[in-house]
Amino acid sequence: MISGRVFERFSLQSPTAQAEGLRHAVLGTPIAAATLPGQGEVSFGCGCFWGAEKGFWRLPGVITTAVGYAGGSVPDPSYQQVCSGRTGHAEVVRVVWDRELVGFSDLLKLFWECHDPTQGDRQGNDRGSQYRSAIFVDDPGDLASAEASRQAYGALLKEAGYGAITTEIASGKVLYYAEPYHQQYLAKPGSRPYCSAQPSGVRLGPFEGSRYLLPPEVWQSFDWTLPHCVLRGDNAPIRL
């Protein structure tokens, strides 16, 4: 991820504590609210979380998103600690969604297609374990879907000449929220439209247990021709 970020005023509160009172800069929903019945929650690691978060908040049926750190051993780390590569955490996007409006399969489609999951501890020019590909989800059904989609997408990538998928899929991983200035960064005044993701261009189709709810026209709202980031464009959620 690029250097030279502008840091907010120093706070004695941890990043996670600061997130408790924040509302989404685009959706207006609390970014740290607990999930309710009929909702799902997942954390996706797909390189720099700035661009990835924007992609997910645009999908119809997504209730809120937030960026944070997960998969490591250091509790409530700072951005600087995660960047050191010694915490074991990955940069992730928390996504909470309405299961009646958007399927977990739809979220997995965007996840696999928005980055190259074969690059190991990097994504494009961003290098380090914090940029690894990962899916952290606790619901058993969602976990099974994630694993099935990995198998299906891996076969498609192999046909296209790519190597093996390196994506980590796990449950029981604690999410620690990133600092407030990272939340919905690309929707804030003065932000730099940066994303290092290098999507393969391979599309995910049906897989075992898949259940897509979004219509095909949703995916036309993303500029798939951009070589580094398919998530640039309008900040507004996609309207059906």
Q: Which residues are catalytic?
A: 48
Please check whether residue 82 is in contact with residue 70, taking contact to mean a CB–CB distance below 8 angstroms: no
Nearest-5° angle of CA 209, CA 108, CA 195? Answer: 170
Query: Is residue 48 a contact partner of residue 36, using CB atoms and an 8 Å limit?
Result: no
According to the 3-state scheme, what is the secondary structure of 150-216?
HHHHHHHHHHCCCCCCCCEEECCCCEEECCHHHCCHHHCCCCCCCCCCCCCCCCCCCCCCCCCCCCH
Query: What is the spatial distance between Cα 105 and Cα 34, in angstroms, rounded to a whole number?
Result: 22
